[in-house]
Structure 1
Amino acid sequence: MSIYSHFILFIYKVITAIVAPLGATFLCYKKRNDPPYGMDVFQLLGFYKKNKSRYVWFHGASVGEINALTPLLKEFIRTHKDEKVVLSTLTTTGLALAKKIEGAKAVIAPLDSPIAVWGFFRAFNPKSLFIIDTELWPNILDRAKKKKCPVVIYNARLQDKNVTKYKKHLGLVTSLISNKLSAVLCMSHNDRLRFIKIGVPEDRVCVTGNIKYDLKPRDLMFDGSRIQKTNLGDNVLGAISIHEGEEQTVIDAYLLAKKENPNIKLIFVPRHQTAGKLACEYLDKLGIKYQLRTEVPSVNSLKEDILIGNTIGEIEFYLGLCDLVFMGGSFVSIGGHNPLEPAYFSIPIVTGPDFHNFTEQFDKLIEVGGAFVAENKESLAKYAIRLLSQRDELNKAGINALDVQQQGRGALQKNLKIFENYL
């Protein structure tokens, strides 16, 4: 690295070392309505129990990433029984899912401060690091380089707007990030070109596809829920992964649709507990009755037309109740959520206008008629009315969605094969 790059990295280390405790405090406050960090908050600052073994480190930022990497990690554990695996994530909801993966030690990831990162490397002495999607943290990459721990980014994606930002400081980005990546396994050829533009050597970047097409949902949970669905009828709209700020839009759309079709029911599954709490408050304000999943041991116990999914790890149960799904995070500036899970179960999808995190998947689904874009609550209501009343169109859309999901499979094995070079 140049003297300038060394200086910038030094300044970054000083600043992150100072603000790390504040960052941990902020995360605790921000997630106060989700499962609390509890004593795990100290892991953010690098306090881990020291282990004698060397670990293979997998990292996924939150729930979505943990869900996506689970099939790959389970296959890795199955075929590498002698390897110790640590799986890190930054959220408590992600941690809850990570703890369900047998054979992996689930922890909260360290913040990108030199002390926290040092603590993690001291505890687990990782022999390799595999990061899903694109999280590029200078302190982690610097420590990995010094410890000769190869870093592989897989299911990698990069947006044009980020390339523009990185290119303004290309020399710095190349020194602090790009040159420290051992391999970048991209979702598409366009992503590969973008990573090359920000300084990653061409021979370290390849296209392996999107492992999210290789998802392996729990069919038994879905089937069990589907059997119970007969008690709900066939006019069920699912609102999945709803974020704070879009709960009222979704509920308003449902109420508009219900004026045309009184039989429509709503399965409302928030991404975080805050959105669920706000949805309940809004329904209370409107005087509309609902039930919480924790109050409904079986679908037979559901007496109201709205079910609020206030549990974690039951996405297949909720999908099993749905005829049509709206994917959240798309009426707010989140960028949408993965539509491939409902597609796997042949359930048509509606998204809001902002799905930039899943452009590839939605573009394919929209092109074949497996997904639809609702610009606002009125548009969402119209899709719910139309599709739930026209079963032939609904069923055809579901088949089209499944075709897209099936055609994209194969990336999981490609990634695992390349991983062997970095163990």
Structure 2
Amino acid sequence: MSVYAEERRADRAADAEQRRIDAAAAEARRVEREKAADERAARLAEQRRSDRVRAREERARVRAERRSARGEVLTAGNVYRKGTLALVTASALGSLPAQVLHFVDISPMLLPLPLAIEGAAWVMAAGVAYADERHLPGWVRWFLRLLVVAAAGFAASINYTYGTHLPGLSDTDRQAAGIGLAAVTLLGPVLFEIRQWVSTLSADTNSPEERARRRHDRKRRQQHRAIAQLADRFVSAAPFGQLDFETAFAHAWEIETGTDTPGMTPRLHQRAARSAAALARAQHPVTTPAPRTGWSILRLLSRRPVGLPTTTPNQDESTETLMNRSTSDLGEPAPAQAAMAPAPAALEAAPAVDLAKPAKPTESAVKARPVRPVPPAARSARPNRTADQLLDEARELTQHWPVEDLTAEGIRKGVRTSAAKARTLRDTLLAERGLGVRVAGEAAS
């Protein structure tokens, strides 16, 4: 009995445990189902929210596209072009019926005539636009415009005649009708031609860079006409497309001016060399006394009062330099040179001079300074030297001289040339040493 009871208790306990396990499994499945349902609901809600956002963005995009399309349609250019076409259409509709009625009243056989007149005007106007598009010669455009004016003018005269003869109107109304029909006949071709003209100008001047380029080309051709013409000759001589104008212009500039630097000319190079020499003189000042030429010394001696010494410290040296100087170095035709006679051994006492009136030279003073021309045999036989030869001699002479010793007087004595040329040589040599400027003589040699 006890064993049976124990087994029954064990069975009931096992059943209870099984029910508890089943209940726990069922609860777990319920929780899983609820969790899956919540996740599915969340996904659906997120999908609906995403769909609403996309729909909102799509509506905003469509509205933006519509605004952009309206903006593009309502631009000034589109309104002008489409408005002009609308006015042209209205003009044709207003002028054509009057011409048709006018010719039909004459004879029904003349019905195609107004169509041909109006059609000729509009076809010729379209021909002007085609000529602008193909960049045809100007005379073609003006010939087509002349045909447009002829056809439109003939149609306007017909409409004016028809309007002034309308029955049942007063004279004022007939005049107004005639003028209105003639004006509307001419209005269409005139508006169409103005539209084409404005379109051509706007297409040509649309880019600021293109406008600036045209201004630059026009200014360059005005200021450098000869070089531009030579460049055009180079372009026309070369095969088509092989040589552009910029390369030809640079080549023409180098031929005309001798330099490949745009804008530079030989005169500007000379100005640059002079400026460099002036800068070198300003940076390295050299104080040298002004040299006296032989003629200035002779004039000074001739003006010296009687009773004073007639020699100067530089007289012998300057006179010798004058005698040895060639006519080419002086830079002028050789004048009649003169030399001083030796001073007398004893001079007479100076006479008393009255300060109230100018003193007159005595006879002995006049005899003391006789002059005579220098014979040709006594002149220097040195050959004429060019500027380049003088510069080469000066470079060779002063190549080891310091800058402080590079004076005009030293160069004049060394190469035996005039003071003016010595100063020019000094400036050139100072410019070469100070700034490395190549002078024109060195470039030519």
Using structure 2 for the length normalisation, give the TM-score.
0.16
More helix by share: 2
More strand by share: 1
Structure ranking higher on relative contact order (CA contacts 8 Å, 6+ apart): 1
When Rg is computed on C-alpha atoms for both structures, the one with the higher figure is 2
